[in-house]
Structure 1
Amino acid sequence: MKITLISSSLEVGGAERVMSIIANYWAARDWQVTILSFDDGASSPFYDLDKRVEYRSLGIDNRDAYQLANLGRTLNHIRRLKKAIVASRPDVVVSFVNITNIMTLLACWRLKVPTIVTEHVYPAFGGLNRIGKFLQQWTYRRASLVTVQTHSGLSFFPADRGFETAVIPNPVALPESDPIESQLYTDDRHLLAIGKLIPQKGFDLLIRAFSQISDNHPEWTLTILGEGEMRDELEDLCEQLRLEERVFMPGTVRNIDAHLRKADIFALSSRFEGFPVTLGEAMACGVPVIATDCLSGPREIIHNGVDGLLIVPDNIDALAVGLDILMSDPVKRQLFSHHAPQAIARFGVEPVMAIWDSALRQVMDRY
């Protein structure tokens, strides 16, 4: 099998993380896997790739690629992408994230190669302008398959309007060692969050919620791993709330497992999601989790009150109450920690890649 994967970049990010897992899995099967990215290749991929994966940068400026209104420049990008796809001689093409998906479908026009496009955020929050939304609806009908991460995403691409769709959640990679259940008693406590420092992730809400209860839990600190446009704003907020010694933002790290194993609670404070990989990874490591019941993802991962806690989204007070409950109750943390790794049975690499196998067979059988 020859598969070509297409992404805007191989920098840090949820879609990029998922693509690396999928690429490595297929390469381990001795499939011929090619990754085409829009970036210039100036920096190495953030996530490790199997040495058998062929990686090629196309030098398409991401800022240009996301300006669909510049027709001439966009058509040039599409021609370059089409040439690269043809050169990779794929049996199937898989594209990641909406704008890249649109350009891929245009590039594959009349190539007679099965093309799968994947959504990696709840479609209502995809950030497309009016032109982008029109092109998405028009081109996605020509995709061999449109994958969404949760069942709630299916409503945006209904079958009765010509869309072929499937639900494929993000694969959650197993931790490097066995899960470790939450320790009941230690000298200090660690609340952990992971993600880009952008409004979507709601870290401003998390910091404010932590501020409300921090005096009641002096042994707890909050660490937020990631980088992004809101760093200055979040640092100013910590200073304003006098949390400089309690909240830490060390930036992007590679050894996520090591940080998860030091965590006593993992918090996902997002305003919206697709299918949060970090939440699944935290549960796989046996970390008690609290997450906003946002659109979409957390409610399809967490069994509320059994292996995690769901709270009202975009609500500082609700988040503060939820954090206070978990911080105050070591028995509840131990219960969540014990049940959390069972999520791997649903969202581990093997069960998710079995869904991908079925999708590939479905697509290939039509060609």
Structure 2
Amino acid sequence: MKILLIQHQGFINGQGGTEKVCSFLADHFAGAGHAVEIATCENRTGKAVYVRHPHVTITNIYTPDIIQKHPRQLWNYTGKNPLLWIYYKIRKKRDKLFNHLLYKKLNGKDGLYLFNLQQRASAWKQFIDARKPDLIMTMSLSSVLEITYNNTYAIPIVNSTNGRPDYDYTDLLWYRSSIDMYYLKAAYRHLAVIQVLFSSYRSFIPETFKGKCFTIPNPVPQIKEEERADLQVSKKRYKIVSIASLITSCKQQDLSIEIFSAIAHIYPEWDLFFWGTGPDEKALRDLIKKKGLQNRIFLEGFTSAPLEKLKQADIFIFPSKFEGFPLALTEAMASGLPCLGLRSCSGVNELIQHGENGFLATDQAELQQQLEILISQPETRSRMGTNAHLSMQCYAPETVIEKWNALIWETHPG
């Protein structure tokens, strides 16, 4: 069978959960003898970070012929040089005129949105028709829209939903225009099958979807009992760890810094480590410096060996605002770490069983109290770490693959 996986943006050089899952599926399908291709459309160069199977083909369909028009960004000069003030004033007027003419030509912002979408969709149609796959698997709802806008296919399309479904077609998490939300929601009509991460997520699928739904979680690496974090050994220094992109609007590393800073003086043998990269690195460094804890709180950057870092840790803290199926959290749990998260966070509140394998907090004060419990009670830390390790066994890769095989067989029996 020829399987085409599509992640229209973010796959090249991408190090997130979606890229991991896409690569996991591609590697498995290729290993099972299918002809597998991953396609993206990105104006960048680089590589696939997680793909391992040598027979997985990776194609970037982007060419300069895919015309994309964008308004110019308007800048206000804030300095005191009068000549520069005049220069930027003139440039701003010029760019305003450019934007006005652009919107006038394309019937406003909605027209510009549809123009750019049509250019990309046409390129996808040409590519897919040439490839003639037996099955298309999209890694996001945006990818569904990219390939189906004003297009039709006789090929079944399966969408892998890497978050709670309503995050993909609403403005709950960030700004989306009304027209963007309308077309994203309408894109569900093109799907033969949708995969969701938890059964509870089915209730967030819109009425526009008429296909079949499968609940399939993400795979979690299984750590041998003798290799997981040893929480019973006495140490000179203990580690609280977080692994996530440095994006405080979602991952809230600043919240972890605040609660640790409030109790760091009480527990001088404990340190806080962050692994990951992102746009808020400088702001977090400034906050650490403000707290005067540069020798206790560390931003360690990207790690290619997260499991090794987790096995050396004692507590995992993960106060995200929203998630789908957070891989870093599941890897921490598989490594035998007790975990802290927020009760309001999707995905996190499915994986952490409060009081059993970690704690779910309702606010900052409660999160701080729970962190202190884990720091001060080694027996609780050890018990919850063991429970966390055991609770991840149901997400073993071979179990997840069996579910995907069933989905593929039902979608394309031939």
- 8 Å contact 1:192–1:223 — kept in the other structure? yes
User: Is 189-198 or 230-239 further displaced after alignment?
Assistant: 230-239
Distance 2:328 2:113 in 1: 36
User: Offset at 1:175?
Assistant: 4.3
Q: Aligned match of 1:83 in 126, 139, 146? A: 126
Pick 1 or 2: higher relative contact order, CA cutoff 8 A, min separation 6. 1
What are the equivalent positions in structure 2 for 1:302-341 lying under 5 Å apart? 302-312=352-362, 315-341=363-389
What are the equivalent positions in structure 2 for 1:285-296 lying under 5 Å apart? 285-296=335-346
Distance 1:185 1:206 in 2: 24
Identity of matched residues, %: 27
User: Offset at 1:101?
Assistant: 2.6
Q: Aligned match of 2:116 in 56, 59, 73? A: 73
- Cross-structure match for 2:410: 362
- Cross-structure match for 2:75: none
Distance 1:205 1:64 in 2: 39
User: Offset at 1:232?
Assistant: 1.7
In the alignment, structure 1 residue 169 sits paired with structure 2 residue 211: no
Q: CA RMSD in A?
A: 2.6
- Cross-structure match for 2:228: 179
- Cross-structure match for 2:194: 146
Distance 1:235 1:124 in 2: 33
Q: 1:65 to 1:14 in 2, by over 3 A?
A: farther
Distance 1:38 1:263 in 2: 39
Distance 1:342 1:249 in 2: 30
Q: Aligned match of 2:281 in 218, 231, 237? A: 231
- 8 Å contact 1:288–1:308 — kept in the other structure? yes
- Cross-structure match for 1:221: 271
Tell me the SS of whatever aligns to 1:266. Answer: strand
Aligned residue type for 2:282 = D
- Cross-structure match for 1:117: 159
- Cross-structure match for 1:6: 6
Distance 1:15 1:226 in 2: 16
Q: Deviations over 1:191-241 (max 9, x none)?
A: 111111111111111111111111111111111111112112211111122
User: Offset at 1:162?
Assistant: 3.1
User: Offset at 1:39?
Assistant: 2.2
User: Offset at 1:15?
Assistant: 0.7
User: Offset at 1:274?
Assistant: 0.8
Aligned residue type for 1:189 = Y
- Cross-structure match for 2:139: 96
Q: 1:55 to 1:340 in 2, by over 3 A?
A: same
Aligned residue type for 2:10 = S
Distance 1:254 1:149 in 2: 25
Q: 1:335 to 1:321 in 2, by over 3 A?
A: same
User: Offset at 1:246?
Assistant: 1.2
Q: TM-score, normalised by structure 1?
A: 0.90
Distance 1:178 1:89 in 2: 45
Distance 1:302 1:70 in 2: 40
Distance 1:58 1:92 in 2: 18
Aligned residue type for 1:230 = D
User: Offset at 1:182?
Assistant: 2.0
Q: 1:41 to 1:234 in 2, by over 3 A?
A: same
Aligned residue type for 1:6 = I
Distance 1:167 1:139 in 2: 20
Distance 2:317 2:285 in 1: 19
- 8 Å contact 2:191–2:209 — kept in the other structure? no
Aligned length in residues: 363
User: Offset at 1:85?
Assistant: 2.3
- Cross-structure match for 1:191: 240
- Cross-structure match for 2:178: 130
Please list every run of 5 or more consecutive structure 1 residues that lacks an aligned counterpart in the other structure. none
Tell me the SS of whatever aligns to 2:153. Answer: coil
Q: 1:64 to 1:153 in 2, by over 3 A?
A: farther
- 8 Å contact 1:157–1:165 — kept in the other structure? no
Aligned residue type for 2:155 = V
Q: Aligned match of 2:42 in 39, 42, 53? A: 39
User: Offset at 1:139?
Assistant: 1.2
Structure whose alpha-carbon radius of gyration is higher:
2
Distance 2:399 2:310 in 1: 23
Q: 1:163 to 1:63 in 2, by over 3 A?
A: farther
